[in-house]
Amino acid sequence: MKLKWMPGAITQREHIIAFIAEDNIDAAIDLDETIDTKCARLVDYPLSGRAGRAPETRELIVHPNYLVVYRVAEDTLEVVALLHAAQRWP
């Protein structure tokens, strides 16, 4: 299975990491690495996230404050959003 970040999720990730980096570059790097690690595990265990709030999605908490919204499509795991846990979704 392949991991594919959708354009909107890439933009969200860039904004989140940049925002955190303004105050703490090490925390931003740690979060970015944590996101990579947890998403890489999803490739092997795509159903490990909980059922998503949006149809045909799943959600994985990658950090106490952030979650990845993704969908499984045949041989591809598509990350559709990276959200703050307090953010309203969908």
Strand order in the sheet with 76-84: 2-5, 76-84, 66-73, 58-63, 50-51
Kindly state the percentage of the chain with pLDDT values over 90: 90
Average pLDDT, the chain: 95
Of 87 and 25, the structure prediction assigns the larger pLDDT to 25
Task: Flag whether pLDDT at 57 surpasses 90.
Answer: yes
Q: Determine the Cα–Cα distance for residues 17 and 14; give it in Å rounded to an integer.
A: 5
Domains along the chain? Answer: 2-84 (3.30.2310.20)
Q: Which helix (H) or strand (E) is 32 found in, with range?
A: helix 25-44
The pTM for the full model equals 0.92
Q: Determine the Cα–Cα distance for residues 38 and 60; give it in Å rounded to an integer.
A: 8
Kindly state the percentage of the chain with pLDDT values over 70: 98
What's the pLDDT at 88?
Answer: 79
Q: Determine the Cα–Cα distance for residues 3 and 40; give it in Å rounded to an integer.
A: 7
Task: Flag whether pLDDT at 13 surpasses 80.
Answer: yes
